[in-house]
Amino acid sequence: MGGDFNCYLDPSLDRLSSRAPITIASVQTLNNLLKSRNMIDIWRLQHPTDKGYSYLSHGHKSYTRIDYFLVDAKLISNIVQTKYHNVLISDHSPVSLKLMLALPKQNYCWRFNPWLLTDQIFTDYMSARLGDFLETNDTGDVSDSTLWETLKVAMRGHIISFEASKKREQRRRLVEIENALPTPEQSYRDSLSQEDYDKILKLKYEYNHILSGTIGKLLLKIKQQHFELGDKPERLLARQLKGAQASRAIYKIKSKT
């Protein structure tokens, strides 16, 4: 299990503050739970002496590690990596856990991303590619059906190319922000200056703006899948008809004897 447990496990390793640590009952409760359930803090096991933090309290000028993945000891051999990422979206740091699982590979089926239609750069790009295609191929000696089928293949290739290029650019910028953020964060830990804190907020804002577009696409995809796979009126009518047919079915015939 994983999440924000709102307490640190080790006051010397999981906390950075000018104030002395106070006794918290939940710390002992959580440690007792780990022992009784044979569970471990997997990040601490993999980083026994490191000081990593997952929560920044700007008001108290303190850092703490209060977000964990607590796993059964039997799963240790399946866990490849546990990592805390930069504090980008909120005042908590995302923590990721990589498992080694032998799962079957899913088949890929391309679908057009309707979110692209809100991108003016994309619509201009596709309009230009469409004009180039028709100018080159619509010569009059090709049937309309052949031209249409060829057009779909060519446009799909341009769409995939555009989207792949945009994803690469977004990933590149996200990596740049992730690599740039530790410098002002470390400086803020040392100096607690407002200038460093403003730099952190600026990088976070750009990072969140890029991710918001990705999240919007995923939400749209979920809605589309719900529409395709969810209950439809015809399914309700089909179930009612099936029930009516079952009620009229004759399962036994009583003979005269």
pLDDT digits (tens, 9 = 90+) for 32-50: 888 888 888 999 999 988 8
Question: Which DSSP helix (H) or strand (E) runs through 239?
Answer: helix 233-248
Give the residue-averaged pLDDT of 146-160. Answer: 92
Q: How many CB atoms lie within 10 A of CB 153?
A: 8
Structural domains in the chain plus CATH codes: 2-99 (3.60.10.10), 114-229 (no CATH)
- pLDDT-derived band at 17 (thresholds 50, 70, 90) equals confident
- pLDDT-derived band at 133 (thresholds 50, 70, 90) equals very high
What is the C-alpha to C-alpha distance for residues 160 and 178, in angstroms, rounded to an integer? 27
Between CA 155 and CA 233, with CA 110 as vertex, the angle to 5 degrees is: 110
Q: Reply yes or no on whether the pLDDT at 207 is more than 80.
A: yes
Look at residue 257 in the predicted model and tell me its pLDDT. 63
- pLDDT-derived band at 230 (thresholds 50, 70, 90) equals low
* Percent of the chain predicted with pLDDT > 70: 86
What is the C-alpha to C-alpha distance for residues 66 and 69, in angstroms, rounded to an integer? 10
Look at residue 150 in the predicted model and tell me its pLDDT. 92
Q: Reply yes or no on whether the pLDDT at 88 is more than 80.
A: no
Q: Reply yes or no on whether the pLDDT at 84 is more than 80.
A: yes
Look at residue 252 in the predicted model and tell me its pLDDT. 65
